């Protein structure tokens, strides 16, 4: 597998674990913690992010939005691959049972706990922080009103689980109606042609929302999010059992990476011209296409790079992959609590970023070791 050998890929049994995808999932999880921590130092998001710090850097925006464009598409592609693997091993009934145990129940349990924890730390920050973020100042003004407006309920950072359930339901409907045969036909297309068409398939999702695209945290499914992430999930399901289909793209990896870098530089230039009101506008067609190219080709580059360099088992990546779910559930309330307390500290942004990421991961991994790894919780969130 380290050389994307077609014979090895097709000869492997359907239940064989592809370590590269587990490792990519672990790295995507780590990048999620880093991304959320970095937003506290983002000039572009300073007026909107709850833990926005006085220390800011344009380097953060240059780094963070690249993660934003590639991380979740990669997550959904990997999730689609593993979903197809579950169907192959256990059938649709087994998949639905797994999704109830592994997604629905953890979502219903974690959702109120995450909301309560985040609300408690935010209320503490409103009352105690001497140098609040613009968001905290705005909330203080709201609370001073005679009848303060109530924030609409949302899924918060657990929106990924919510959409994973939606895509599982759509996969069941599609399989029942025989639509999965269309995916099989699409995978007969040469990989190079698919790589050229993939951005056009994803671009409508970016076109229907703002730039940079927000997290679809509403309790009501967002059509733009379905249009954006759905193709990645479908691509992942279609890729199961066909890893060798990526073989022709090996020689395309470095040119595609260069194209992504150039497209991202142009995207950053467009972001630099943004004003506050631009956040409320939908992306222009050119910007949507740029984002679609970065997201699709960036995901393909990550898959190719993972299959080439992360195919062998690695103990530390395997551990991070097993703890990824727990870390995902726990990290944002922890991170907010830490960064609220850092608002009154005079720390340079590199020190603040490293401290918040390091402490958050330390608590997440320690609690995973103590509470999940050797307990029954591992069957739910391990």
pLDDT tens for 103-154 read 999 999 999 999 999 999 999 999 999 999 999 999 998 888 888 777 778 9
Residue 33 belongs to a domain: yes
Residue 373 belongs to a domain: yes
Structural domain boundaries, residue 247: 6-143+153-381
Residue 148 belongs to a domain: no
pTM, two decimals, is 0.91
Residue 371 belongs to a domain: yes
Q: How many structural domains does the chain have?
A: 1
Rounded Cα gap, residues 20 and 302, in angstroms = 10
Residue 1 belongs to a domain: no
Rounded Cα gap, residues 198 and 296, in angstroms = 6
- The full DSSP string for 69-107 is HHHHHHHHHHHHHHHHHHHHHHHHHHHHHHHIIIIIHHH
- Closest residue by Cα to residue 76 from 28, 147, 27, 132: 28
- The full DSSP string for 8-50 is HHHHS-TT---HHHHHHHHHHHHHHHHHHHHGGG-STTTTT-T
Query: Do 102 and 380 contact (CB within 8 A), yes or no?
Result: yes
Residue 7 has pLDDT above 60, yes or no: no
Q: Give the mean model confidence (pLDDT) for residues 71-91.
A: 93
Residue 238 belongs to a domain: yes
Q: Give the mean model confidence (pLDDT) for residues 305-313.
A: 92
Q: Cβ atoms within 10 A of the Cβ of 140, count?
A: 14
- The secondary structure element, H or E, covering residue 224 is helix 223-239
pLDDT tens for 258-270 read 999 999 999 998 8
- The pLDDT confidence band at residue 277, using thresholds 50, 70 and 90, is low
- The full DSSP string for 251-284 is GGHHHHHHHHHHHHHHHHHHHHT--GGGGGSBPP
């Amino acid at each position: 597998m380290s050389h994307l050998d077609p014979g090895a890929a097709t000869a492997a049994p359907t239940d064989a674990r592809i370590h590269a995808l587990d490792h990519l999932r672990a790295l995507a999880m780590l990048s999620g913690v880093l991304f959320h921590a970095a937003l506290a130092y983002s000039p572009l998001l300073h007026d909107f992010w709850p833990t926005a710090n006085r220390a800011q850097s344009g380097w953060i925006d240059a780094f963070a939005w690249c993660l934003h464009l590639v991380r979740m598409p990669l997550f959904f592609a990997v999730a689609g691959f593993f979903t197809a693997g579950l169907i192959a091993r256990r059938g649709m009934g087994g998949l639905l049972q797994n999704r109830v145990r592994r997604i629905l129940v953890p979502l219903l349990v974690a959702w109120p706990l995450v909301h309560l924890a985040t609300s408690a730390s935010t209320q503490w920050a409103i009352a105690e922080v001497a140098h609040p973020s613009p968001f905290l100042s705005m909330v203080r003004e709201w609370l001073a009103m005679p009848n303060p407006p109530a924030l609409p309920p949302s899924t918060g950072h657990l929106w990924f689980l919510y959409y994973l359930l939606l895509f599982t339901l759509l996969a069941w409907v599609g399989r029942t109606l025989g639509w999965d045969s269309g995916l099989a036909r699409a995978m007969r297309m040469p990989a190079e042609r698919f790589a050229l068409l993939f951005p056009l398939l994803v671009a409508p999702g970016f076109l229907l929302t703002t730039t940079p695209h927000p997290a679809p945290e509403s309790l009501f499914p967002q059509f733009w999010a379905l249009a954006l992430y759905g193709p990645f999930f479908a691509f992942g399901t279609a890729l199961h059992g066909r890893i060798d289909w990526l073989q022709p793209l090996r020689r395309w990896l470095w040119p595609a990476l260069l194209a992504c870098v150039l497209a991202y530089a142009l995207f950053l230039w467009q972001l630099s011209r943004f004003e506050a009101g631009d956040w409320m506008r939908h992306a222009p067609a050119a910007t949507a296409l740029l984002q679609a190219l970065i997201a699709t080709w960036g995901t393909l580059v990550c898959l190719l790079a993972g299959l080439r360099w992360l195919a062998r088992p690695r103990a530390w990546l395997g551990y991070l992959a097993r703890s990824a779910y727990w870390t995902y559930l726990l990290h944002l309330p922890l991170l907010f609590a830490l960064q609220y307390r850092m608002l009154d500290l005079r720390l340079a942004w590199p020190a603040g970023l490293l401290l918040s990421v390091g402490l958050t991961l330390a608590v997440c991994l320690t609690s995973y070791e103590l509470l999940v790894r050797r307990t029954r919780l591992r069957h739910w969130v391990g």
